[in-house]
A and B are shown apart, each in its own frame.
Chain A
Amino acid sequence: MEKNVAHIALFAALIAALGLIPKVTLAFGVPITAQSLGVMLCGTILGSKRGALAVLLFLLLVAIGLPLLSGGRGGLGLFVSPSAGFLIGWPIAAFVTGLIVEKWRSAPLALVASLASIIGGILVMYVFGIVGMSITLEKSLVEATGLVTAFILGDFLKAIIAGMLTSAMAKARPSSVLSRSEPADAV
């Protein structure tokens, strides 16, 4: 129990810290805010339940007024802004990502974690984000999709990186990749 809570709290802090450390550059020199990478890592490393709880805890802190989102953003306003759908989709994205890594054990971890991040961290997250935008901006789903396509490439690279980081983590601390360290039926 204590270990679970410590992991959840630390990963919530990790998402926050990834938004606050000096920007890191992605391939081709594109600067990224690494927070959505943090959400993917919550899923691939902590697994479905703990990953989703870590993201929920992070969002709770943002909601109660801590400026933890990249650029020092925070507060309740974000949850009614046009990008609210993405935030609401974050815990579900982490859950789906974690679930795929937990269940699909026959392929190499880097590949599974990358694909899981693409399905959870991009597909699921964008569904929520696009619906949110279409409601707040009164646009059709197709029009809202058009507004966000520019960001998909960056997220795609983040998903690949999440896969590589998870595999590196499994080598550095084999027991730390909780999504894989427990038997599939016990999760």
Chain B
Amino acid sequence: MISLTSPVRTSAHCWPAGAKLLGLCIATAMLFAIDNLLVQGLVFAFVSLLYALPGKAFLFAGLRQMKLLWLFVFVVGLWHIWTAEYELGASIVLRMLSAVGLANLVTMTTRLSDMIDFVKKITIPLRWIGLNSQVLALAIALVIRLTPVLVERGGQLTHAWKARSTRVPNWRIISPFTVLALDDADHVAEALRARGGFNSLEEI
């Protein structure tokens, strides 16, 4: 599966994931504390510069990720033009774009393997409430492996529907889809147990 990490190498790819995430938390908290429109504008310009620095391909990949916000920008913009609170509207839109932009930047410059290592590391203390970080890592791998399998199953069910009916597939198709997923879960559990189960994970 293709993750959202950018194939364009930047120096930020080598920074530790934990530091980037901590920096992101602090930056986001600060963004919500800034009231001044000029400072908001400067922060937005800085974030835009960060996207532009690694080159065109990186910038466009980043812009594609920001697409999810256009509807919100549109609604908030319209709202504040209607109420004539232009400054407040501009500040909300700028902060939203900067906050999401910065977070996407961390996603784009951190490899999936680094993220998983980081998750494994920070979940070690959760052992005392019964969460084994090795099991969590295995569960992550299972989801990554099984999602394409389920998508393919969904495609096959849609084809089977279309071969037998002139109507478009509707929600009823989710029923066999879920039954297949449940059967798969049983097979996966048996396969895990046959290979020693989670007891063997402790030795890794």
Contacts and interface: CB of A to CB of B under 8 A. Distances in A.
Given A2-B198, A77-B107, A10 B170 contact: no
A80 interface: yes
Given A21-B155, A75-B103, A5 B68 contact: no
A57 B143 contact: yes
A21 B186 CA distance: 23
B4 interface: yes
Given A24-B173, A77-B100, A68 B147 contact: yes
Given A9-B188, A13-B143, A137-B76, A64 B175 contact: no
B129 interface: no
A130 to B, nearest CB: 14
Q: Is the interface of B mostly helix, strand, loop or mixed?
A: helix
B171 interface: yes
A173 B76 CA distance: 47
A2 B154 CA distance: 25
Given A6-B186, A10-B181, A14-B181, A138 B88 contact: yes
Interface string B150-190: 11011100100000000011110111011101111110110
B55 interface: no
Nearest to B188: A6
Nearest to A75: B107
A33 to B, nearest CB: 12
Contacts of A73: 65, 68
- The list of the 6 closest CB pairs from A to B, nearest first, reads A75-B107, A21-B154, A17-B150, A64-B115, A76-B103, A9-B142
